[in-house]
Every structure is written in structure tokens, then in C-alpha cells.
Amino acid sequence: MPLNQQIVLDNRPVGEATASNFRLVTAETPPLADGQVLVRHHYLSLDPYMRGRMNEGKSYAAAQALGEVMIGGTAGEVVESRHPKYQPGDRVVGMGGWQAYSVVDGNVPGLLRRVDTTHVPLSHYLGAVGMPGVTAWYGLVKIIAPKAGDTVVVSAAAGAVGSAFGALAKARGCRVVGIAGGADKCQYAVQELGFDACVDYKEHADFVSLSKALKAVCPDGIDGYFENVGGMVLDAVLLRTNAFARIAVCGMIAGYNGAPLPLANPALILVNRLKVEGFIVSEHMEVWPDALAELGTLVGSGRFRPRESVAQGLEAAPEAFLGLLKGKNFGKQLVKLA
């Protein structure tokens, strides 16, 4: 069995996460038992939720254990199998973590899934046709539930979730407006992803200024908002919401380092009779087949061409992850392992 490089959580961050919170180790891969599968990871997914898992405090999921391999989605290839459902050469996705190989129990539902790479590249199953894409689908379809002609807004618009949200919303006839950090990301959202407009939040010192910019590109107000950021961005959007607007709360990356995120105008939730709903996509597995089918069609047909930021080698994962938290990525952030 091959030697396995792994990145473990060595210590918990105090405030901002740093590369010193992680440690690279080498471990022996155990021999397979009946029903197990050995997977060589080709790609590792990096996602904002991982920052919350690094903390010890109460959250919607258990904290990442110290000294254990960091949690993370993976896409790769079966290299050895003692399970009849999987054969060497099968392309699969799972939650193999920050390591080169994983040994997976093929009898446990949901741990491993075979994928077809004929029309969709393997890496996209960690992004547009994976968890980020399904996240966008659930927030749009099940919470915002737009009608054709509605104006919908998404923060972190150039990221994996935001870009998928834009493609899905345009397919439903919506006016789609993004909020992103930097002129290059806004240009990408409009010119490559087909957004109707995109506002650069970095050009605005406060939520009042940002809200004025949103008013210019959302003249009929905002009917639906997909929240990835929180803080000033949420305050700005709330000022532009229409009566009975729907807000799907997916992430609050502005507060992942422990900073409080007070609302400037919480009364708007009442005044505008807003529906504000947080969700965790792993709690809604029943929608995954429909979501993945639509996302796969959008990508396979070329109507949605997701962009990826790819770091090379497992040892690059910590710095790539820290860059993701600071918005340095375009589209889905991956680490290429093989």
C-alpha cells in the first residue's frame, strides 16, 4: 500500500487562521478489508465552511479534531477495490480530506459516488456539479423561488457558489446582479458568467455607499438575495429589498474570524416582511439528484463554463485555503494532487 501524505489540523486559530495551524505528515495506508476501496485523490476541494470547523465552539457541525486529517471533498480514481460496486479506474467523488489517498467503506451510503467524466471534467464535480452548485440551487429554488423577471442578487459572485447561482438564475429568466471584490471579478461575472451587472464592494467605504450603487443596478429593487458574506454587504442589500423579498443565508465569511456582525437596520426585516432562511446543504440530500442533473446539463452543454483556481500539490493547500478566505480565488478553489 502507498505511503500517504496528509495535512492535519495541528492547533486552533486565534482570530485569523494561519498556515501554522496546519501540519504536513506522512502515514502508512492500511491494507484493504472486505468492502473497502482505495482512492487516489486527483483534486481536493477548498471551501469556506472549513474555517468554521477549525473552531472549537458550537456550530451546526462537529469541530475538526486536532491531529486528524482536515475535512474536505475530493475527486479521484479507484486504484484498488474489495467491493463489487467499484472497480480500479472508476472516477469517484467523496469526502476523502486533505490527503493523497483515502480508504473508504464502500458499504456506507453517501461516502463515495461514481461520476461520468465524458462531458463534465472530474474537477467540476467538486464545484459547479458538486456541493457548491447544489448549494446555489437549493438557495435559489427552495428559498428564493424566483419568478421570471425577478431581480436576484448574490454576494461573492465570482466564487464557486456565486457563479453557479448566476447560471441557474439566468436560466430561470431572472435579472442577476452580483457583488464581488475587485473590478476584475466584476468584469468576469458580467462578461463570462452573463450577470446583468456586478458591484465592486471594495469601491465603497460603508453600506450606505454600497447600497446606492446597488440602487443604480437594481432600479426595481431586490426580490431575492443569496448571502455568502454578511456584514456591510448584507446591510447594503437590506436597504434595497422589496416587500416580501426572500433571503437565503448560506455563509457569513465576514465573521469567520470571530468578529461580530451586527445588523444596522434589522427593522427592515419586519417593514419589508422579509423571509430570511439559513440552510446547510448537507441537510437536504433529497434535492441533490435534481440539482446535479440540471447543473450537469448546464456545464455539459457549455451554457455554464465555470472557472477554477488550482493550486499545485498537497503542501500548497494551507496557503490556497487562506487565500480563499481573503477572496483571492476566481471560481472554485481546488488543489491538484495527481
Model confidence pLDDT, tens digit, residues 283-312: 999 999 999 999 999 999 999 999 999 999
Residue 129 Cα distances to 90, 136, 206, 334, angstroms: 18, 11, 35, 14
Residue 123, pLDDT score: 97
Gap between the terminal Cα atoms of the chain: 17
Helix (H) or strand (E) holding 134, with range, is: helix 131-138
Residue 253, pLDDT score: 87
Coil/strand/helix, residue 82: coil
Mean pLDDT of 174-198: 97
**What CA–CA distance (Å, rounded) separates 110 from 229?**
29
Residue 300, pLDDT score: 92
Q: Is the Cβ–Cβ distance between 5 and 99 less than 8 Å?
A: yes
pLDDT at 60 over 80: no
pLDDT at 26 over 90: yes
The second-level CATH assignment, the architecture, of 3-127+306-336 is Alpha-Beta Complex (3.90)
The second-level CATH assignment, the architecture, of 132-282 is 3-Layer(aba) Sandwich (3.40)
Cell 447594503 found at? 236
**What CA–CA distance (Å, rounded) separates 7 from 70?**
6
Categorize the per-residue pLDDT at 256 as very low, low, confident or very high, splitting at 50, 70 and 90.
confident
145 is written with which cell numbers?
423561488
Mean pLDDT of 213-239: 97
Q: Where are the domains of the chain?
A: 3-127+306-336, 132-282
Average predicted confidence (pLDDT) for the chain: 95
Q: Is the Cβ–Cβ distance between 161 and 136 less than 8 Å?
A: yes
Q: Is the Cβ–Cβ distance between 99 and 22 less than 8 Å?
A: no
pLDDT at 257 over 90: no
Mean pLDDT of 189-206: 97
Angle between helices 288-300 and 131-138 (to 10 degrees): 110
Categorize the per-residue pLDDT at 223 as very low, low, confident or very high, splitting at 50, 70 and 90.
very high
How many other CB atoms are there within 10 angstroms of residue 75's CB atom? 28
Q: Which amino acid is at 291?
A: A
Categorize the per-residue pLDDT at 275 as very low, low, confident or very high, splitting at 50, 70 and 90.
very high
**What CA–CA distance (Å, rounded) separates 96 from 227?**
28
Mean pLDDT of 217-232: 97
**What CA–CA distance (Å, rounded) separates 226 from 155?**
7
Coil/strand/helix, residue 253: helix
Categorize the per-residue pLDDT at 56 as very low, low, confident or very high, splitting at 50, 70 and 90.
confident
pLDDT at 126 over 80: yes
pLDDT at 5 over 80: yes
